[in-house]
């Protein structure tokens, strides 16, 4: 489990944590000291063209768009 800071759409610094499970990836992030989470099945990540191994090893290069229920590359 790795935690990295990132900037969300409102320019707030957030902390991203990615946890692998049998069926997908659980993503946790903190905004203004409140924790949120979303689950992404592997098939959904593939459809979003997200490299799951890279997401697990380098979550600092990704950001979450909770409104669209999507993970986006920040590079």
Residue-wise pLDDT for 26-70, tens only, equals 999 887 778 899 999 999 999 999 999 999 998 888 888 878 888
Strand 2-7 and strand 13-20: the pairing is antiparallel
The domain total for the chain is 1
Alpha-carbon distance 74 to 29, whole Å?
A: 15
30 occurs within a structural domain: yes
pTM here?
0.74
Query: Please, what's the largest Cα pairwise distance for the chain?
Result: 33
pLDDT given for residue 55 in this prediction: 92
pLDDT at 15: 64
| pLDDT for the residue numbered 39 | 95
- pLDDT in the model for residue 5: 47
- Domain annotation covers residue 17: yes
Residue 59 lies in a domain: yes
Q: State which residues form the domain around 6.
A: 2-68
> Rounded to an integer, what distance in angstroms lies between the CA atom of residue 46 and that of residue 33?
31
């Amino acid at each position: 489990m790795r935690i990295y800071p990132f900037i969300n759409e409102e320019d707030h610094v957030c902390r991203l944590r990615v946890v692998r499970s049998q069926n997908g990836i659980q993503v946790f992030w903190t905004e203004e000291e409140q924790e949120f989470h979303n689950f992404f099945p592997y098939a959904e990540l593939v459809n979003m063209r997200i490299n799951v191994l890279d997401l697990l090893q380098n979550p600092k290069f990704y950001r979450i768009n909770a409104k669209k229920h999507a993970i986006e590359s920040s590079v």
